[in-house]
Amino acid sequence: MSSDVSEPRLDDEVAGLKELYRDFAAADLMPLWTQRDDLMPVAPRPTAVPAVWRWSQLYPLAQRAGELVPVGRGGERRAIALANPGIPGRPYTTATLWAAIQYLGPHEVAPSHRHTQTAFRFVLDGQGVWTNVDGDAVRMSRGDLLLTPGWSFHEHHNTTDSPMAWIDGLDIPLIDQLDAGFYEFGPTELSSCATPERSRSERLWGHPGLRPVLAPDRPSSPLVAYRWEHTDAALRDQLDCADEGLAFTVEPGHAAVRFTNPTTGRDALRTIRIEMHRVCGGVSTEPVRAVGSAVWQIFAGRGRLQVGETSFEVGTGDLFAVPSWTRFALTAADDLDAFRFSDEPVYEALGLDRVDGGAGR
């Protein structure tokens, strides 16, 4: 036992132990007692580290990829993943989440495919790309969140003369570690060249509190586009209500909305939680640490983060990773909108969620 390691032993005992461990290895066995603390730590010790990726560095690299790397069948997407420096060799932004910048040049098409990995797109800036989700043409514009739930066919096409870039979020590391990934190529022809102002999903599901009488519940949201216009209004209204004394903000000066599945009221995606936060200038959020990890992108404004022992200055477009059980707080230099996604639904579904600190969460 580890507690006895420092005690003197007779040579015979040492030899016997060595031989035992050799025999364990030959039999595909490993003793618990030599690695108990590593396997079962007192609290999570994530391999992933707090990390930031600057938009000012990401976007030019994506542009260079746009010039050098074609997009098409096989590689499928011109997406460049944020690889956490604590997890060498794997393109994992955190233990469970994959984030990337995707870039599509003028009139380019990213071909149709589907996979059990759950995905979304979030648009920092620009417009002109459409994502067809199971044949439904969905416009992508500044501040919009677009979903491609697991196993729905999706493809992107840029109908303009300008390139466009956005953020992809997926649960690739989770699905990889769970050996649960399936993948299928779709048709090579675009399923739809339409460019409607509103997708079918918005027409059927985008009316607050109303659902088609015959529509059954769905595990993921049937509404696949959440427009900035609504998100912005919801945050503004929430802060206004708080000014009138209604306690629905996360904490004073900090509003947040969650993107939900209108058939259940729960998270829009099964394995990924997505939220938009608005923190008023000068406000610091209450430090919080939670089991599970998150990735954030500053949508607008500037601020300062504290993630574990590390602190960063961040501005519009910057992304950062918050590993499991790592204390996090954000101070807004001026009014700041921050897009956040996390793996919390996974932990809640398995009874593994735990939070320490934070404002009422």
Provide the minimum distance between the beta carbon of 91 and a copy of itself in the complex, in angstroms, as a whole number. Answer: 4
Provide the minimum distance between the beta carbon of 187 and a copy of itself in the complex, in angstroms, as a whole number. Answer: 16
Using the minimum distance from each CB to a copy of itself, give the nearer residue, 42 or 309.
Answer: 42
Provide the minimum distance between the beta carbon of 159 and a copy of itself in the complex, in angstroms, as a whole number. Answer: 20
Q: For residues 264 and 271, give the distance between their C-alpha atoms in angstroms, rounded to a whole number.
A: 15
Provide the minimum distance between the beta carbon of 121 and a copy of itself in the complex, in angstroms, as a whole number. Answer: 14
Using the minimum distance from each CB to a copy of itself, give the nearer residue, 31 or 106.
Answer: 31
Contact 41, 73 (CB under 8 A): no
Task: Report the 10 Å Cβ neighbour count for 277.
Answer: 20
Q: What residues form DSSP beta bridges with 134?
A: none
Q: For residues 154 and 142, give the distance between their C-alpha atoms in angstroms, rounded to a whole number.
A: 20
Using the minimum distance from each CB to a copy of itself, give the nearer residue, 299 or 325.
Answer: 325
Contact partners, residue 128, CB within 8 Å, separation at least 6: 140, 158, 159, 160, 162, 164
Contact partners, residue 308, CB within 8 Å, separation at least 6: 50, 323, 326, 327, 328
Provide the minimum distance between the beta carbon of 282 and a copy of itself in the complex, in angstroms, as a whole number. Answer: 21
Q: Is 60 exposed, middle or buried (0-12, 13-18, 19+ CB in 10 A)?
A: exposed
Provide the minimum distance between the beta carbon of 289 and a copy of itself in the complex, in angstroms, as a whole number. Answer: 11
Residue whose structure tokens are 């000014």: 243
Tokens of 166: 């956005």
Using the minimum distance from each CB to a copy of itself, give the nearer residue, 81 or 283.
Answer: 81
Using the minimum distance from each CB to a copy of itself, give the nearer residue, 244 or 309.
Answer: 244
Using the minimum distance from each CB to a copy of itself, give the nearer residue, 219 or 282.
Answer: 219
